[in-house]
Structure 1
Amino acid sequence: MARVVLILAVCVLLPALISAARPMSGRPFRLQGKVYCDTCRAGFETSATTYIPRAKVRVECKDKEQKLVYSMEGTTDSTGTYHILVNEDHGEETCDVVLVSSPVGDCMTADPGRERARVVLTSYNGIASDNRFANAMGFMKDEILSGCTTLLQSLMEEED
Protein backbone atom coordinates (compact mmCIF):
# COMPACT_ATOMS: atom_id res chain seq x y z
CA MET A 1 0.00 0.00 0.00
CA ALA A 2 2.81 2.40 0.87
CA ARG A 3 4.43 1.63 -2.48
CA VAL A 4 1.21 2.61 -4.33
CA VAL A 5 1.03 5.92 -2.48
CA LEU A 6 4.68 6.61 -3.23
CA ILE A 7 4.21 5.84 -6.94
CA LEU A 8 1.10 8.05 -7.03
CA ALA A 9 3.02 10.92 -5.43
CA VAL A 10 5.94 10.59 -7.82
CA CYS A 11 3.82 10.20 -10.96
CA VAL A 12 1.02 12.68 -10.29
CA LEU A 13 1.71 15.13 -7.49
CA LEU A 14 5.37 15.89 -8.12
CA PRO A 15 4.93 16.96 -11.79
CA ALA A 16 1.88 19.05 -10.84
CA LEU A 17 3.82 20.87 -8.11
CA ILE A 18 6.80 21.49 -10.38
CA SER A 19 4.67 22.88 -13.22
CA ALA A 20 2.72 25.13 -10.85
CA ALA A 21 5.93 26.62 -9.44
CA ARG A 22 7.50 27.39 -12.82
CA PRO A 23 6.75 30.48 -14.91
CA MET A 24 4.43 29.93 -17.83
CA SER A 25 5.89 28.96 -21.13
CA GLY A 26 4.24 29.02 -24.51
CA ARG A 27 0.99 30.94 -24.19
CA PRO A 28 1.32 34.33 -22.51
CA PHE A 29 -1.57 36.34 -21.11
CA ARG A 30 -2.68 39.04 -23.54
CA LEU A 31 -3.66 42.01 -21.38
CA GLN A 32 -5.75 44.73 -23.02
CA GLY A 33 -7.32 47.99 -21.88
CA LYS A 34 -7.99 51.59 -22.89
CA VAL A 35 -6.79 55.00 -21.71
CA TYR A 36 -9.08 58.00 -22.12
CA CYS A 37 -9.19 61.73 -21.60
CA ASP A 38 -12.18 62.76 -19.49
CA THR A 39 -13.00 65.96 -21.40
CA CYS A 40 -15.99 66.76 -19.14
CA ARG A 41 -14.26 65.85 -15.84
CA ALA A 42 -17.27 63.63 -15.14
CA GLY A 43 -15.30 60.77 -13.55
CA PHE A 44 -16.50 58.30 -16.18
CA GLU A 45 -16.58 57.83 -19.96
CA THR A 46 -19.15 59.90 -21.88
CA SER A 47 -19.88 60.51 -25.56
CA ALA A 48 -17.42 63.44 -25.36
CA THR A 49 -14.60 61.22 -24.09
CA THR A 50 -11.53 60.92 -26.32
CA TYR A 51 -9.00 58.08 -26.23
CA ILE A 52 -5.30 58.80 -25.88
CA PRO A 53 -2.73 57.41 -28.30
CA ARG A 54 0.86 56.98 -27.00
CA ALA A 55 -0.20 57.01 -23.32
CA LYS A 56 2.05 54.93 -21.08
CA VAL A 57 0.78 52.32 -18.63
CA ARG A 58 2.49 49.77 -16.40
CA VAL A 59 1.47 46.34 -15.07
CA GLU A 60 2.60 45.91 -11.45
CA CYS A 61 2.29 42.70 -9.45
CA LYS A 62 2.97 42.72 -5.71
CA ASP A 63 3.29 39.90 -3.22
CA LYS A 64 1.44 39.67 0.10
CA GLU A 65 3.96 42.01 1.75
CA GLN A 66 3.27 44.59 -1.02
CA LYS A 67 6.75 44.09 -2.47
CA LEU A 68 6.91 44.66 -6.23
CA VAL A 69 7.74 41.34 -7.93
CA TYR A 70 6.82 42.11 -11.55
CA SER A 71 6.61 45.24 -13.70
CA MET A 72 6.08 45.73 -17.43
CA GLU A 73 5.31 48.94 -19.35
CA GLY A 74 3.17 49.37 -22.42
CA THR A 75 1.97 52.14 -24.73
CA THR A 76 -1.44 52.73 -26.27
CA ASP A 77 -2.01 52.57 -30.01
CA SER A 78 -3.88 55.08 -32.20
CA THR A 79 -7.21 54.01 -30.65
CA GLY A 80 -6.02 54.48 -27.05
CA THR A 81 -5.77 50.70 -26.54
CA TYR A 82 -2.77 48.98 -24.98
CA HIS A 83 -1.77 45.34 -25.45
CA ILE A 84 0.76 43.86 -23.03
CA LEU A 85 2.01 40.27 -23.12
CA VAL A 86 2.66 38.74 -19.68
CA ASN A 87 4.64 35.48 -19.83
CA GLU A 88 4.29 34.51 -16.17
CA ASP A 89 1.44 33.28 -13.98
CA HIS A 90 0.85 35.66 -11.05
CA GLY A 91 -1.75 33.71 -9.11
CA GLU A 92 -0.15 34.41 -5.74
CA GLU A 93 0.17 38.13 -6.36
CA THR A 94 -2.05 41.20 -6.67
CA CYS A 95 -1.70 42.78 -10.12
CA ASP A 96 -2.81 46.23 -11.27
CA VAL A 97 -2.42 48.23 -14.44
CA VAL A 98 -1.54 51.83 -13.55
CA LEU A 99 -1.35 55.04 -15.54
CA VAL A 100 2.19 56.32 -16.10
CA SER A 101 1.88 59.33 -18.42
CA SER A 102 -0.21 61.07 -21.05
CA PRO A 103 1.24 62.79 -24.13
CA VAL A 104 -1.74 65.20 -24.24
CA GLY A 105 -0.53 68.47 -22.69
CA ASP A 106 -3.88 69.60 -21.28
CA CYS A 107 -4.98 66.11 -20.16
CA MET A 108 -2.21 64.85 -17.87
CA THR A 109 -3.88 64.64 -14.45
CA ALA A 110 -4.85 61.09 -13.50
CA ASP A 111 -8.52 60.77 -12.58
CA PRO A 112 -8.68 59.71 -8.89
CA GLY A 113 -10.27 56.29 -8.71
CA ARG A 114 -9.69 55.65 -12.42
CA GLU A 115 -5.89 55.70 -12.37
CA ARG A 116 -5.51 51.93 -11.86
CA ALA A 117 -7.31 48.73 -12.78
CA ARG A 118 -7.03 45.34 -11.04
CA VAL A 119 -6.28 42.38 -13.34
CA VAL A 120 -6.22 38.62 -12.77
CA LEU A 121 -3.11 37.04 -14.28
CA THR A 122 -3.42 33.35 -13.48
CA SER A 123 -4.60 30.25 -15.32
CA TYR A 124 -5.91 28.68 -12.12
CA ASN A 125 -9.20 30.56 -11.86
CA GLY A 126 -11.57 28.91 -14.32
CA ILE A 127 -11.03 31.39 -17.17
CA ALA A 128 -10.32 29.35 -20.29
CA SER A 129 -8.99 32.22 -22.41
CA ASP A 130 -5.53 33.75 -22.14
CA ASN A 131 -7.03 37.18 -22.94
CA ARG A 132 -7.38 39.51 -19.96
CA PHE A 133 -9.27 42.80 -20.09
CA ALA A 134 -8.71 45.71 -17.72
CA ASN A 135 -11.20 48.47 -16.99
CA ALA A 136 -10.56 51.73 -18.84
CA MET A 137 -8.37 54.23 -17.02
CA GLY A 138 -8.43 57.96 -17.48
CA PHE A 139 -6.77 61.32 -17.30
CA MET A 140 -8.77 64.54 -16.77
CA LYS A 141 -8.77 67.55 -19.08
CA ASP A 142 -7.51 70.76 -17.42
CA GLU A 143 -10.49 72.77 -18.68
CA ILE A 144 -13.95 71.32 -19.25
CA LEU A 145 -15.01 71.36 -22.89
CA SER A 146 -17.93 73.54 -23.92
CA GLY A 147 -21.08 71.48 -24.23
CA CYS A 148 -20.26 69.26 -21.26
CA THR A 149 -22.84 70.91 -19.00
CA THR A 150 -25.60 70.09 -21.49
CA LEU A 151 -24.27 66.55 -21.97
CA LEU A 152 -24.13 65.84 -18.23
CA GLN A 153 -27.61 67.34 -17.69
CA SER A 154 -29.01 65.08 -20.43
CA LEU A 155 -27.40 62.06 -18.76
CA MET A 156 -29.02 63.02 -15.44
CA GLU A 157 -32.42 63.37 -17.13
CA GLU A 158 -32.10 59.90 -18.64
CA GLU A 159 -31.43 58.52 -15.17
CA ASP A 160 -34.81 59.73 -13.84
Structure 2
Amino acid sequence: MARSYTPLLAVMCVLLLPLAAMAAGTPFHIEGCVYCDTCRFGFETILTKYITGAKVKIVCKDSVTLKSEVVGEAVTGRRGRYRVAVKGDRQDQQCLAVLVNSPISNCQFPDPGRNTATVILTRSNGIASTRHFANAMGFFRD
Protein backbone atom coordinates (compact mmCIF):
# COMPACT_ATOMS: atom_id res chain seq x y z
CA MET A 1 0.00 0.00 0.00
CA ALA A 2 2.81 2.44 0.82
CA ARG A 3 4.27 1.74 -2.58
CA SER A 4 1.28 3.26 -4.39
CA TYR A 5 1.86 6.67 -2.78
CA THR A 6 5.52 6.92 -3.83
CA PRO A 7 4.89 8.23 -7.39
CA LEU A 8 2.32 10.72 -6.07
CA LEU A 9 4.76 12.08 -3.49
CA ALA A 10 7.51 12.35 -6.10
CA VAL A 11 5.25 14.35 -8.43
CA MET A 12 4.18 16.67 -5.58
CA CYS A 13 7.80 17.37 -4.63
CA VAL A 14 8.75 18.17 -8.22
CA LEU A 15 5.77 20.51 -8.63
CA LEU A 16 6.49 22.40 -5.41
CA LEU A 17 10.20 23.02 -6.10
CA PRO A 18 9.65 26.03 -8.44
CA LEU A 19 7.34 27.67 -5.90
CA ALA A 20 9.87 27.25 -3.12
CA ALA A 21 12.66 28.63 -5.30
CA MET A 22 10.58 31.65 -6.30
CA ALA A 23 9.70 32.51 -2.71
CA ALA A 24 13.27 32.07 -1.51
CA GLY A 25 15.00 35.01 -3.11
CA THR A 26 13.84 36.05 -6.53
CA PRO A 27 13.97 39.86 -6.62
CA PHE A 28 11.04 42.03 -7.64
CA HIS A 29 11.54 44.06 -10.81
CA ILE A 30 9.90 47.49 -10.68
CA GLU A 31 9.40 49.26 -14.01
CA GLY A 32 8.17 52.76 -14.75
CA CYS A 33 8.88 55.96 -16.64
CA VAL A 34 9.62 59.64 -16.00
CA TYR A 35 8.43 62.52 -18.16
CA CYS A 36 8.59 66.30 -18.50
CA ASP A 37 5.09 67.81 -18.44
CA THR A 38 5.57 70.49 -21.08
CA CYS A 39 1.98 71.77 -20.80
CA ARG A 40 1.81 71.66 -16.96
CA PHE A 41 -1.48 69.72 -17.12
CA GLY A 42 -0.45 67.14 -14.49
CA PHE A 43 -0.71 64.15 -16.83
CA GLU A 44 0.83 62.78 -20.02
CA THR A 45 -0.20 64.30 -23.36
CA ILE A 46 0.99 63.98 -26.95
CA LEU A 47 3.46 66.81 -26.24
CA THR A 48 5.01 65.01 -23.25
CA LYS A 49 8.78 64.55 -23.43
CA TYR A 50 10.24 61.49 -21.70
CA ILE A 51 13.41 62.15 -19.71
CA THR A 52 16.62 60.18 -20.23
CA GLY A 53 18.95 60.36 -17.22
CA ALA A 54 16.39 61.15 -14.49
CA LYS A 55 17.09 59.56 -11.11
CA VAL A 56 14.50 57.48 -9.27
CA LYS A 57 14.66 55.65 -5.95
CA ILE A 58 12.47 53.04 -4.26
CA VAL A 59 11.75 53.88 -0.62
CA CYS A 60 9.98 51.52 1.80
CA LYS A 61 8.52 52.67 5.11
CA ASP A 62 7.85 50.21 7.93
CA SER A 63 4.25 50.44 9.12
CA VAL A 64 5.19 49.87 12.78
CA THR A 65 8.44 51.80 13.31
CA LEU A 66 7.80 54.35 10.50
CA LYS A 67 11.49 54.01 9.56
CA SER A 68 12.19 54.64 5.85
CA GLU A 69 14.78 52.72 3.87
CA VAL A 70 16.01 53.17 0.30
CA VAL A 71 15.86 49.68 -1.24
CA GLY A 72 16.75 50.52 -4.84
CA GLU A 73 17.86 53.28 -7.20
CA ALA A 74 17.84 53.70 -10.97
CA VAL A 75 18.53 56.15 -13.78
CA THR A 76 16.10 56.34 -16.66
CA GLY A 77 17.21 55.16 -20.06
CA ARG A 78 15.71 55.56 -23.50
CA ARG A 79 12.18 56.96 -23.53
CA GLY A 80 12.43 57.76 -19.82
CA ARG A 81 12.08 54.14 -18.70
CA TYR A 82 13.70 52.68 -15.60
CA ARG A 83 13.92 49.24 -14.03
CA VAL A 84 14.91 48.50 -10.44
CA ALA A 85 15.56 45.08 -8.88
CA VAL A 86 14.53 44.93 -5.21
CA LYS A 87 15.44 41.95 -3.04
CA GLY A 88 13.27 40.72 -0.20
CA ASP A 89 9.57 40.64 0.59
CA ARG A 90 8.34 43.96 2.03
CA GLN A 91 5.08 42.55 3.39
CA ASP A 92 4.39 45.10 6.14
CA GLN A 93 5.93 48.09 4.41
CA GLN A 94 4.56 50.83 2.19
CA CYS A 95 6.89 51.26 -0.79
CA LEU A 96 7.06 54.16 -3.21
CA ALA A 97 8.97 54.97 -6.36
CA VAL A 98 10.18 58.55 -5.79
CA LEU A 99 11.59 61.14 -8.20
CA VAL A 100 15.07 62.31 -7.19
CA ASN A 101 16.12 64.74 -9.95
CA SER A 102 15.93 65.60 -13.63
CA PRO A 103 18.90 66.33 -15.91
CA ILE A 104 16.83 68.84 -17.92
CA SER A 105 17.50 72.37 -16.64
CA ASN A 106 14.06 73.77 -17.51
CA CYS A 107 12.18 70.74 -16.15
CA GLN A 108 13.28 70.47 -12.50
CA PHE A 109 10.10 70.91 -10.43
CA PRO A 110 8.40 67.58 -9.54
CA ASP A 111 4.65 67.51 -10.20
CA PRO A 112 3.16 67.37 -6.66
CA GLY A 113 0.51 64.89 -7.82
CA ARG A 114 2.86 62.67 -9.83
CA ASN A 115 6.17 62.76 -7.94
CA THR A 116 5.69 59.31 -6.33
CA ALA A 117 4.10 56.01 -7.32
CA THR A 118 3.04 53.21 -4.98
CA VAL A 119 4.66 49.83 -5.64
CA ILE A 120 3.65 46.51 -4.08
CA LEU A 121 6.61 44.39 -2.97
CA THR A 122 5.10 41.26 -1.43
CA ARG A 123 4.31 37.74 -2.56
CA SER A 124 1.43 37.45 -0.06
CA ASN A 125 -1.17 39.19 -2.21
CA GLY A 126 -1.93 36.58 -4.88
CA ILE A 127 0.18 38.18 -7.62
CA ALA A 128 2.46 35.49 -9.06
CA SER A 129 4.70 37.76 -11.13
CA THR A 130 7.83 39.42 -9.78
CA ARG A 131 7.52 42.12 -12.46
CA HIS A 132 5.58 45.12 -11.15
CA PHE A 133 4.76 48.41 -12.86
CA ALA A 134 4.81 51.84 -11.22
CA ASN A 135 2.68 54.69 -12.53
CA ALA A 136 4.47 57.32 -14.62
CA MET A 137 6.01 60.18 -12.65
CA GLY A 138 6.66 63.67 -13.94
CA PHE A 139 8.42 67.00 -13.63
CA PHE A 140 6.82 70.32 -14.60
CA ARG A 141 8.48 72.37 -17.30
CA ASP A 142 9.47 75.90 -16.20
Q: Same fold (TM over 0.5)?
A: yes
Q: Is the 8 A contact 1:25 1:87 kept in 2?
A: no
Q: Distance in 2 between matches of 1:128 and 1:78?
A: 28
Determine whether 1:53 maps to 2:57: no
Runs of 4+ in 1 over 2 A off after TM superposition: none
1:54 counterpart letter in structure 2: G
Q: CA deviation at 1:101?
A: 0.3
Alignment of 1:1-160 (within 5 A): 25-64=24-63, 65-142=65-142
1:120 counterpart letter in structure 2: I
Deviations 1:106-142 (A, max 9, x none): 0010001100000100111011111000000000000
Number of aligned residues: 119
Q: CA deviation at 1:70?
A: 4.0
Q: CA deviation at 1:72?
A: 1.8
Match of 1:33, SS? Answer: strand
Q: CA deviation at 1:27?
A: 1.6
Gaps of 5+ in 1: 1-23, 143-160
2:93 counterpart letter in structure 1: E
2:97 counterpart letter in structure 1: V
Q: Distance in 1 between matches of 2:113 and 2:86?
A: 24
Q: Distance in 2 between matches of 1:102 and 1:60?
A: 18
Q: CA RMSD in A?
A: 1.1
**Which shifted more, 68-77 or 52-61?**
68-77
Q: Is the 8 A contact 2:97 2:116 kept in 1?
A: yes
**TM-score (normalizing by structure 1):** 0.71
**TM-score (normalizing by structure 2):** 0.80
